Chains A and B, each alone.
Chain A
Amino acid sequence: DSGVTQTPKHLITATGQRVTLRCSPRSGDLSVYWYQQSLDQGLQFLIQYYNGEERAKGNILERFSAQQFPDLHSELNLSSLELGDSALYFCASSTLAGGNLGEQFFGPGTRLTVL
């Protein structure tokens, strides 16, 4: 158990809909990252938040957005969903402090299926 929790585990929805994925980082971790894993693209970085502020953006679509709340949990919002958005979405967290700057710990993921 990495200490990172994600809900829901599975999500099935229709094209055009909007969903929200939730992540709680490990206790004490200030940084949260979102990744998308699909069969053809592998694991792709979407966005990073650090202590409530956006820090880095990767290949995140304009239809997607995220935020990190004062209690450090984060939400990834996906809107106007398309079939190609079906994928595993992972949240990871890290401390970004001390000697272990690079270590990111992943949650169990949310499997999104768009029908």
Chain B
Amino acid sequence: GQQLNQSPQSMFIQEGEDVSMNCTSSSIFNTWLWYKQDPGEGPVLLIALYKAGELTSNGRLTAQFGITRKDSFLNISASIPSDVGIYFCAGMNYGGSQGNLIFGKGTKLSVKP
């Protein structure tokens, strides 16, 4: 089945640094989403992307839908301690009221104050 390759698997950075993570797929998607998950909680939607080439921001977060529709990246600027968590990319092909997400394995972010 479809698989997403998310990298890096983990990052350990200093507070204030910028962070970049990405996802690639062997097949195309018409929707890319980025989620953050804290321990013991459900994933929380950060950004949704619907058009190839689209660049969308949510506060200090910026994500882009790759032009080939096979990749996406997420940037976090000026990281703070509460950014700690696991970030997941997810791809989706919606059609006919069907739509399930294919998730990457996640990027675990640690921020040192």
> Which residues from chain A sit less than 8 Å from chain B, CB to CB?
2, 4, 31, 33, 35, 42-45, 48, 50, 55-56, 58-59, 90, 92, 94, 96, 99-109, 111
Question: Do residues B42 and A56 form an inter-chain contact, with CB atoms below 8 A?
Answer: no
In chain A, what residue has the closest Cβ to B88?
Answer: A43
In chain B, what residue has the closest Cβ to A33?
Answer: B100
User: How far, in angstroms, from A98 to B43 measured CA to CA in the complex?
Assistant: 22
Count class of interface residues, chain B: 20 to 34
Task: Select one of A59, A104, A109, A111 contacting B101, CB under 8 A.
Answer: A104
Q: Which residues of A contact B44 (CB under 8 A)?
A: 2, 106
User: How far, in angstroms, from A27 to B40 measured CA to CA in the complex?
Assistant: 24
Q: Which residues of A contact B94 (CB under 8 A)?
A: 96, 101-102
Q: Which residues of B contact A90 (CB under 8 A)?
A: 42-43
Q: Which residues of B contact A33 (CB under 8 A)?
A: 100-101
Question: Do residues B106 and A108 form an inter-chain contact, with CB atoms below 8 A?
Answer: no
Question: Do residues B92 and A102 form an inter-chain contact, with CB atoms below 8 A?
Answer: yes
Question: Do residues A45 and B101 form an inter-chain contact, with CB atoms below 8 A?
Answer: yes
Report the 7 A-B pairs with minimum CB-CB distance, sorted nearest first. Answer: A102-B31, A106-B42, A43-B103, A45-B100, A56-B98, A101-B94, A106-B43
Given known A-B contacts A42-B106, A102-B92, A48 and B99 have beta carbons under 8 A apart: yes
Question: Do residues A31 and B92 form an inter-chain contact, with CB atoms below 8 A?
Answer: no
Q: Which residues of B contact A106 (CB under 8 A)?
A: 35, 42-45
Q: Which residues of B contact A102 (CB under 8 A)?
A: 31, 33, 48, 50, 92, 94, 99, 101
Question: Do residues A109 and B99 form an inter-chain contact, with CB atoms below 8 A?
Answer: no
Mark each residue of chain B from 37 to 77: 1 if its CB lies under 8 Å from any CB of chain A, else 0.
00011111100101000000000000000000000000000
